[in-house]
Structure 1
Amino acid sequence: MTYTVEKCLMTGLPNFALDAVKYVIAHESGNPNNCGPNALENEIAYMNRNKANAFTSHWVGGGGKIVQVAPVGKLQYGCGPKGNPLSYAQVELARTNDKDQFKKDYAAYIWLLRELAKEAVIPVVLDGTGNGIKSHRWITDNLKGTTHRDPYSYLVSMGISEEQFRKDILNGLDKPQQIVKDDDIMKFTNETTKAAVRDYLKQSVEKGKINKSWLEKFDQDTMTSGDFEGLKIIIGQR
């Protein structure tokens, strides 16, 4: 399924370049007092009034509607001074108390986060190592400069666990779920070893010995030990 992105860009926004394109940020409004049928419109209006202090590029809500309110690829004020200069796009999810509406909003939210990551040419993986889609909580825990921990509490309250959210980002909602036994996933005893393996794969991609998808699989933490052993043979033969 695809969605129409309604463009309603706010005026008077700052026009600052990013330091780098590393992330797409997943947010939710954090506003339990705005869950009614006009929650999406209310949130956009509030953001427009307060854009000097905080704004993001997209809003999702109202039964699966997507509204872009600021340009992508430009500095947004959504996840603190450490994360903002690295974030291609930042997506807010308006709240609802209606479980049926939430399902539609969630489907649009997943689709948009995945599409923006593909557009930015970063891994479609949530809160993994390296570049990718990051929750606001990941920014708080890893980059600092902010204290928000969304969107997990709201998603859990609507029946979406952290694990389900991660899987839905990885697979999308229109595809069969990828099942990888955790026991088969490559394990590392330290970050230095993991970084060395990633560098080995990155160099192999740059030399044309393996497809880029293998590096993405490594970044998504779905590469098995068997995958890696087979890749070493392929790389050695090329």
Structure 2
Amino acid sequence: MTYPIEKRLMSGLPNYALTSVKYVIAHESGNPNNCGPNALENEIAYMNRNKANAFTSHWVGGGGKIVQIAPVNRVQYGCGPKGNPLSYAQVELARTNDKDQFKKDYAAYIWLLRELAKEACIPVVLDGTGNGIKSHRWITDNLKGTTHRDPFSYLESMGITEEQFKKDILNGLDKSQQTEKDDNTMKFTSTTAKAAVRDFIQQAVDKELINKSWLEKFDNGTMTSGDFEGLKIIIAQRSA
């Protein structure tokens, strides 16, 4: 399943280049006083009024709606001065008290985080080593410069454990999406071919062209053919 992304880019935003493309950040609003049917629109309006201090690229809510309010691949003010220059996109999840609506919001949230990571050519893994999708809590614990610990408390209040969140990020929620992932997992006709690919990735890691997490992805058997094609492009660009 795919979701439409409504673009409502805010005016007057700063336009700073990223230092490096390493992360996609998973947030939630942290606002227990804004859980009604207009929560998504309220949050977007509030962020527009306060964009000089805080803004992210995307909001999710309102029953699975996705609204982009700032460009990706530019600095956003969402996860502190350490994380902002490294984050391709930052995604906020509006709150709700409606469990049925939450299921729709959560499905769109998972889809968007995964899609943005693929778009940025970073691992579709939550809070792992190296590049990938990071929670705001991970930024607080590992990079500092912020104290927020979302989105786990809110997700757990709606029945989603941290372990489930990580699993859903890795595999997606759409069964057909999981089947496609399995079908496209890299297969080799010989151990020699597998060794050659691993050696190629290892050399790129040794030259610090890519993060070690790519080698881990290959070794644990979750690298797809599409991942590898994207990785080759990244390596070629960084070798130039």
Pairwise TM-score range, normalised by the shorter structure: 0.7 to 0.9
Unmatched tracts of structure 1, length 5 or more: 179-198, 207-211, 225-238
1:59-98 matches, within 5 Å, as: 59-98=59-98
Q: Using a 3 Å threshold, how does the CA distance of structure 1 residues 3 and 101 change in structure 2: closer, same or farther?
A: same
1:202 aligns with 2:167: no
Question: How far is the alpha carbon of 1:218 from its aligned partner?
Answer: 1.2
* Cα distance in 1 for residues equivalent to 2:78 and 2:65: 20
The TM-score with structure 2 as length reference comes to 0.77
Give the letter aligned to residue 202 of structure 2: Q
Q: CA deviation at 1:203?
A: 2.8
Q: Give the superposition deviation at 1:35.
A: 0.1
Whether the 8 Å CA contact 1:31–1:95 is kept in 2: the answer is yes
Q: How far is the alpha carbon of 1:202 from its aligned partner?
A: 2.8
Aligned equivalent of 1:29 = 29
Report the alpha carbon displacement of residue 70 of structure 1 after superposing the two structures with TM.
0.1
Secondary structure of the equivalent of 2:35?
Answer: coil
Please say if residues 123 and 220 of structure 1, whose CA atoms lie closer than 8 Å, have aligned partners that are also in contact. no
- Residue by residue, what CA displacement relative to the aligned partner does 1:160-205 show, whole Å, maximum 9, x if unpaired? 0000000000000013599xxxxxxxxxxxxxxxxxxxx9673356
Aligned equivalents of 1:43 and 1:221: distance in 2? Answer: 42
Please tell me whether the aligned partners of residues 29 and 93 of structure 2 are also in contact (alpha carbons under 8 angstroms): yes
Figure out how many residues of one structure are paired with residues of the other and give that number. 199
Conservation of the 8 A alpha-carbon contact between 2:201 and 2:215:
no
- How many percent identity over aligned positions? 82
- 1:216 deviation in Å? 3.6
CA distance in 2, matches of 1:57, 1:159: 26
Q: Are residues 221 and 84 of structure 1, via their aligned partners in 2, closer, same or farther at CA, if it must alter by over 3 Å?
A: farther
The answer to whether the 8 Å contact 1:22/1:88 transfers is yes
Match of 1:118 in 2: 118
Give me the whole-angstrom Cα distance separating, in 1, the residues matched to 2:98 and 2:35. 8
Q: How far apart, CA to CA, are the structure 2 residues paired with 1:30 and 1:133? A: 19
After TM superposition, the structure 1 = structure 2 runs for residues 41-190 of structure 1, keeping only pairs within 5 Å, are 41-175=41-175, 176=178
For residue 19 of structure 1, give the secondary structure of its aligned residue in structure 2.
coil
Distance in 1, matches of 2:141 and 2:200, equals: 27
* CA offset digits 1:43-99 (Å, max 9, x no partner): 000000000000000000000000000000000000000000000000000000000
Unmatched 5+ stretches in structure 2: 182-197, 223-240
Q: Is the 8 A contact 1:125 1:220 kept in 2?
A: no
Q: Give, in angstroms, the shift of residue 221 of structure 1.
A: 8.6
TM-score (normalizing by structure 1): 0.78
Q: Name the SS for the 2:85 alignment partner.
A: helix
How far, CA to CA, are the matches of 2:61 and 2:142 in structure 1? 28
Following the alignment from structure 1 to structure 2, what is the Cα–Cα distance between the partners of residues 220 and 101?
37
